[in-house]
Amino acid sequence: MADSAGIQQGSPAIGAAGLVPAAPGAAGTEGSGAAGRSARIAVKKAQLRSSPRPKKLEKLGVYSSCKAEGACKCNGWKSQNPPPTPPRTDQQSNTVNLQEPCRSCSHTLGDHVTHLENVSEEEMNRLLGIVLDVEYLYTCVHKEEDADTKQVYFSLFKLLRKSILLMGKPMLEAQDSPPFEKPSIEQGVNNFVQYKFSHLPSKERQTIMELAKMFLNQINYWQLETPSQRRQRVPNDDAAGYKANYTRWLCYCNVPQFCDSLPRYETTQIFGRTLLRSVFTVMRKQLLEQARQEKDKLPPEKRTLILTHFPKFLSMLEEEVYSHSSPIWSQDFLAGASGGQIPIHTVISAPPVARPLYYSTSPVSVDPSSGSVSPARKTASVLEPNPVGEKRKPSEPLTQEENKRPRVVGDIPMDLINEVMATIADPAAIPETSLLSAHSARDEAARLEERRGVIEFHVIGNSLNQKPNKRILMWLVGLQNVFSHQLPRMPKEYITRLVFDPKHKTLSLIKDGRVIGGICFRMFPSQGFTEIVFCAVTSNEQVKGYGTHLMNHLKEYHIKHEILNFLTYADEYAIGYFKKQGFSKDIKVPKAKYVGYIKDYEGATLMGCELNPSIPYTEFSVIIKKQKEIIKKLIERKQAQIRKVYPGLSCFKEGVRQIPIESIPGIRETGWKPMGKGKELKDPDQLYSSLKTILQHVKSHQNAWPFMEPVKKTEAPGYYQVIRFPMDLKTMSERLKSRYYTTRKLFMADMQRIFTNCREYNPPESEYYKCANLLEKFFYTKIKEAGLIEK
């Protein structure tokens, strides 16, 4: 649509001013301008409604048919002296003459408004609001250049015009009425939050809720592209379906934001997956650009949420939006979900600051023979990933030989594993354990892009024996440019020589037909290792997981070629990247194998990586997530088993003072096992002395500082709402002094409560969480040294 039309695709303005919708028919989409136009319309309506009654009649007479005798066909009074355009406030008069004749039919103004004589002020004000909406739409029709949008504006103009003539309420006449698809976008996001994050602690779940609200808000104020624009961008898309949704969106969501005489609905409540699919990709891309440009304007408290967590949230949601088997779009979703629905209500008035960064995931393996991309290989067995090649299907039972392997104490029966795997609703869409986890998959975004065909991986190289391939040569030139630009300290002639050297190959990353990254390497099959020479991704495509996914493809390529060791010299800027990819300074390859083969670089660090042929690296994070889902299902089954209610203990009424724990009905079903036999000191003084020594050691430990005294409410708001039974080392010292600990179990229970409370309230990456783990390990070491539990 032309700039003057105003309904352009894209996001509203973001930043300190927040998010404000753009008015239809007005130029541009800047939030401040849209807010000004919306405010001006509201001011005009307020001014008109506060005018004297004769002035109101004059305004309504313009849109009222003549009621004079003789069946006059005039459909609106026209003044003999029309006001100038634009009207001048200094020349306006408040006097209205009901006897002034109409310029069209010569009947008086009073003849046009006789039907309004007994109408209440409230009804007259309602009609005046419609009048101003009609005038606004009239302007939109004349300014609009897009034919589809102009047609909708004109239809709404005629509808409101008719409502004034008939003094009725505007009712859109259409075959379908809202909602147009179930479940709605809002319900789908609700289901997504329930499906992926219901297991999270309340603190993290609240963050997810905020992200979901921001996302819904963005859609409610998103300006859809016109059908003609979409046809140019996506020529093979369902044009008729999109046009129908675009028309509905204009009539029910966009125009009513400013013409409030029309009934208004939220986009997220009346549209579903179809509309979301048509806007999701472009919406995320534009919000990403906006976030990059305006990141300095974001409030500090929102910066991490928007620039770090929101992109990951959208990346996970994208999988569910485009997946053909996602359960969140089923109308029966909540019926099968455990727990109640997480309430997410669209925040319309609050201006959010939200924009996504990231794409998503998809596994594809490289064909070593041709250097081209082959379809993603089948997912390996969840419990025992096999070497690359033939893979057992996840639901296939184990063979007899595998079943004969030694059983581990506490091992789960394979029959139960197979049964649980069959109950996983969507094996392809595995829920993330925690969106905010520092250990979430780095390559997740790149994997989804690969599955959707946005990026490709090709192993290429120059050849002196075969006819040159123009495309491969262009890619090699592109790789030479990427390496030269990203590795400025490396001589360009040296880079060019190695990239085009027939002994070297390069795993190239292709996006939109151009090279955006790659890993140049040389294989030494006789020595059992490969040297990685260059590794780079162009700067504007970084932080998307491409580097990790590149390395994972390279690992699988070498596993197929039975080379299981990488060596590389990493400069100070690359050491961090290689560490994340499994490299270390501990070289597994004997020095005699690589000395004289690998190129030595001054000031660089030699690093190595040993590959495990049993790991499908491009799918490894998916397998881990599937394992977590299986464990979650097993826990749910176990919880269902232990919900059985046993009769209470009546033996104490009969005079019994104490019974063994193992005799309590149902205790073993919960997973309880007798503790290892330890030395229970019967002498109270000896027990007191041992516990006092242990407590002193714990209190003097370098990681005990967070637990020395009770937590203060001012330092940790809401702590005592989360932690029902607090404990600290000061309280334990007082209990020990008062001889409260009559057994070692009481003492150990209080100490364990300190560590458990800390881990429940604090996130895993916090310093307190780490202190709890280290101090707990130290405590049990001292307990064992004292002989209170078995070593």
For residues 392 and 381, the answer to whether their CB atoms sit within 8 Å is yes
Q: What is the DSSP string of 30-62?
A: -HHHHHHHHHHHHHHHHHHHTS-HHHHHHHHHT
Q: Is 117 a catalytic residue?
A: no
From 320, 531, 556, 629, the catalytic residue: 531
Q: Say how far apart CA 556 and CA 615 lie, in whole Å.
A: 9
SS3 assignment, position 677: coil
DSSP 328: G
- H/E stretch holding 155 reads helix 147-166
What are the DSSP calls for 405-443, one per residue?
A: SPPPTTPPPHHHHHHHHHH-S-TTSPPPS-TT-TTS-TT
- Distance of alpha carbon 337 from its chain centroid, rounded? 20
Q: Which amino acid is at 95?
A: T
Which residue's structure tokens are 């790659």? 518
Nearest to 748 by CA among 732, 764, 761, 763: 732
Helix-then-strand count for the chain, H and E: 28, 8
The two beta strands, 529-537 and 565-570, are: parallel
| Owner of token pair 């299986």 | 630
Question: Which token pair is 562?
Answer: 């039975």
Angstrom distance (rounded) from CA 232 to CA 134: 32
DSSP notation for 285-324? HHHHHHHHHHGGGS-HHHHHIIIIIHHHHHHHHHHHHH-T
Residue 748 near residue 769, CB atoms below 8 Å: no
Phi, psi torsion values for 523, nearest 5 degrees: -95, 140
Does residue 124 contact residue 117 with C-beta atoms inside 8 Å?
A: no
Nearest to 351 by CA among 34, 12, 37, 33: 12
Closest to 144 in 3D by CA, of 7, 230, 10, 25: 25
Which residues are annotated as part of the binding site? 535-537, 542-548, 573-576
Structure tokens, 164: 């004034």
The H or E element that residue 218 is part of is helix 202-220
Are 569 and 616 in contact by the 8 Å Cβ rule? The answer is: no
Pairing of strands 565-570, 605-610: antiparallel
341: tokens are 């629905």
Binding site as annotated, residues for acetyl-CoA: 535-537, 542-548, 573-576
Residue 729, token pair as written in the block: 């080392």
User: Do the Cβ atoms of 55 and 94 come closer than 8 Å?
Assistant: yes
What torsion do the CA atoms of 7, 10, 15, 20 make, to the nearest 10 degrees? 30
For residue 730, give the H/E element and its range.
helix 729-737
By annotation, the residues acting in catalysis are 531
